[in-house]
């Protein structure tokens, strides 16, 4: 490895723990130190090098070309001792986030239809209803002029959304909050993963599960699995009994519907365990990362009132003349400046800061031969702050970077908030739509400002968070506007569109799903075509470049 990176400056290193003991202990300073290290030590071909825990070599992609070469390689997700993917396995199993090889490829192919635009379209109602609850909660804070903690409130909103969209879990998560046993268990699991990663002694399973924390972690995983399995079994029984299987009578198709009815080319579907793994994976990736993105975007808008006002004016213009504030599917491509702010927020604060691959064979990159076993770090956080590509003002929030006249200046693989290549995020369009709806609802109703009594300290873990929370004030802009549906007990489904049924019918035939095809036949004659202009509208994509465009690289994670 030293030969491969001869001539490259390597940071000060401990003989066992690598470079990490020399990083600042303060989490915010640690993040800035790492960015400075990458900017200072990057070699000409776009890589930096350091030693990790137990003297494991880590190669960091610090340029678009370097990121692209790793993303396009067949290197699997790192699953060694010092791998967060391995630590997640007791919870997420062999779901899309963790799986490698043929298992990942097959399941990825089966799950892709779940994120077709006709499936995503009805979810806008779910986004609106949960956003209404969040607006009502923040209205109470605005009335008392109290500050609120952003992450806690936004994450409960995104968790409620993904629970409904994943398997129609209809509990009032936002009001139950930490009292909901499922929410409590999920929060403890994610907190424990962070603690375990940064304590080397706990990386060994035998040591971890001897501790009280390890035993509690196992208990929480078992509970979360039992909730998912109970819902899966009930839905399976309903399908077998022929109850609630007429797609035309449902109010929307959730991910569980897709998982239960998907079939591969041999006619085989997903096992009960595989379905549970994917449901748990959707839950984690669908709320924590999106909640982090929304929270940091609000933070940047609160720091820059001029950009916040522009977003508010844009949302007001889109909703002008309406009785209620629901953001409709057709509104999403109209939110052009808000989309610029979302992209810049994800550049500046990278919700998922680091991904990793482990080489199984030699990789020749820029004339350097990297040996097998090396950890290739896709450091999105570092890439989004490289001065060479983003300028000396890379720490500044500047949405104009993503204005139409500037978008061509961004190279392929330079902006990759959802990763890229054949394992980019399967739910990136779901996430972008959700972020647009929630932020539009919030900005329509409030003006946000930071609470100076609370210092903001970033903490990079599985997702970008803070040490002591993110506190803001919400000032009410206007009255009313909440849909009357917010006050009604909403049933578990929202009406399936005929285009959605058409798409599902085709999927059922293609994948050999006789049950799913049969469900759709009854409404087949009523199908009609719909526009797909939204799907191809450049403003909805996190990048318009071929490297990250969904038509070039099917979204995966």
According to the per-residue pLDDT averaged within each range, which of 50-54, 179-183, 451-455 is highest?
451-455
Distance, in Å, from the CA atom of 500 to the CA atom of 120, rounded to the nearest integer, reads 9
In percent, how much of the chain has pLDDT > 70? 82
Distance, in Å, from the CA atom of 450 to the CA atom of 136, rounded to the nearest integer, reads 20
- 171, 129, 334, 346 alpha-carbon torsion, rounded to 10°: -40
Give CATH for domain 20-262+274-540: 1.10.630.10
Binding site feature residues for heme: 425
Binding site feature residues: 425
Other beta carbons within 10 angstroms of residue 215's beta carbon come to 12
According to the per-residue pLDDT averaged within each range, which of 172-186, 310-324, 415-429, 458-472 is highest?
310-324
The predicted structure's pLDDT at residue 4: 67
User: For residue 183, what are the CA distances in angstroms to 155, 407, 424, 429?
Assistant: 10, 39, 27, 25
Tokens in use for 149? 């903690």
Please provide the size of the chain in residues: 557
The predicted structure's pLDDT at residue 519: 39
The predicted structure's pLDDT at residue 208: 97
Distance, in Å, from the CA atom of 451 to the CA atom of 34, rounded to the nearest integer, reads 28
Average pLDDT over the chain, rounded to an integer: 81
Distance, in Å, from the CA atom of 51 to the CA atom of 19, rounded to the nearest integer, reads 6
Domain segments of the chain: what residues?
Answer: 20-262+274-540
Distance, in Å, from the CA atom of 356 to the CA atom of 369, rounded to the nearest integer, reads 18
What value does the CA radius of gyration of the chain take, rounded to a whole number of Å? 23
The predicted structure's pLDDT at residue 117: 85
Q: Which residue has the higher pLDDT, 192 or 359?
A: 192
Burial category of 223 from C-beta neighbours within 10 Å (exposed 0-12, middle 13-18, buried 19 and up): middle
* pTM of the shown model: 0.80
pLDDT band at 360 (very low <50, low <70, confident <90, very high): confident
In percent, how much of the chain has pLDDT > 90? 43
């Amino acid at each position: 490895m030293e030969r491969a990176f001869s001539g490259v400056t390597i940071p000060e290193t401990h003989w066992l723990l690598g470079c990490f003991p020399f990083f600042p202990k303060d989490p915010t300073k640690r993040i800035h130190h790492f960015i400075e290290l990458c900017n200072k030590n990057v070699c000409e071909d776009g890589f930096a090098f350091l030693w990790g825990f137990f003297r494991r070599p880590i190669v960091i992609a610090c340029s678009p070309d370097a990121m692209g070469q790793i993303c396009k390689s067949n290197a699997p997700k790192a699953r060694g001792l010092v791998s967060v993917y391995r630590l997640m396995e007791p919870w997420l199993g062999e779901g899309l986030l963790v799986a490698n090889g043929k298992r990942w490829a097959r399941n990825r192919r089966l799950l892709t239809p779940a994120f077709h635009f006709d499936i995503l379209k009805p979810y806008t109602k779910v986004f609106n209803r949960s956003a209404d609850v969040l607006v009502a909660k923040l209205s109470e804070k605005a009335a008392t002029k109290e500050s609120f903690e952003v992450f806690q409130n936004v994450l409960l909103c995104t968790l409620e959304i993904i629970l409904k969209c994943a398997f129609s879990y209809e509990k009032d998560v936002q009001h139950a909050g930490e009292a909901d046993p499922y929410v409590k268990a999920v929060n403890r699991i994610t907190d424990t993963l962070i603690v375990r990663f940064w304590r080397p002694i706990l990386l060994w399973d035998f040591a971890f599960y001897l501790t009280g924390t390890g035993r509690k972690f196992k208990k929480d995983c078992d509970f979360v699995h039992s909730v998912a399995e109970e819902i899966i079994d009930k839905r399976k029984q309903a399908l077998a009994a022929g109850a609630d299987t007429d797609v035309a009578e449902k109010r929307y198709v959730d991910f569980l519907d897709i998982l239960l009815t998907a079939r591969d080319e041999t006619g085989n579907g997903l096992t009960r365990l595989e379905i549970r793994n994917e449901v748990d994976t959707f839950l984690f990736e669908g709320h924590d990362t999106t909640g982090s993105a929304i929270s940091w975007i609000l933070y940047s808008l609160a720091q820059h009132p001029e950009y916040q006002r522009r977003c508010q004016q844009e949302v007001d213009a889109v909703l002008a003349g309406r009785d209620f504030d629901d953001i409709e599917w057709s509104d999403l491509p109209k939110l052009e400046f808000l989309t610029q702010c979302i992209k810049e927020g994800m550049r500046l604060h990278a919700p998922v800061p680091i991904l990793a691959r482990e080489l199984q064979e030699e990789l020749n990159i820029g004339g350097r031969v990297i040996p097998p076993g090396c950890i290739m770090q896709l450091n999105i956080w570092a890439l989004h702050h490289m001065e060479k590509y983003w300028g000396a003002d890379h720490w500044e929030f500047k949405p104009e970077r993503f204005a139409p006249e500037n978008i061509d200046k961004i190279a392929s693989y330079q902006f990759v908030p959802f990763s890229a290549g054949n394992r980019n995020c399967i739910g990136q369009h779901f996430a972008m739509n959700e972020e647009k709806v929630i932020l539009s609802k919030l900005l329509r109703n409030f003006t946000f400002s930071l609470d100076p009594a609370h210092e903001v300290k970033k903490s990079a873990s599985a997702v970008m968070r803070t040490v002591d929370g993110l506190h803001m004030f919400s000032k009410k802009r206007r009255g009313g506007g909440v849909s009357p549906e917010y006050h009604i007990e909403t049933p578990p489904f929202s009406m399936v569109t005929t285009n959605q049924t058409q798409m599902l019918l085709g999927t059922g035939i293609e994948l050999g799903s006789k049950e799913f095809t049969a469900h759709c036949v009854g409404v087949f004659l009523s199908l009609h075509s719909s526009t797909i202009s939204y799907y191809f509208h450049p403003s909805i994509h996190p990048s318009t470049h071929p490297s990250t465009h969904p038509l070039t690289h099917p979204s995966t994670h």
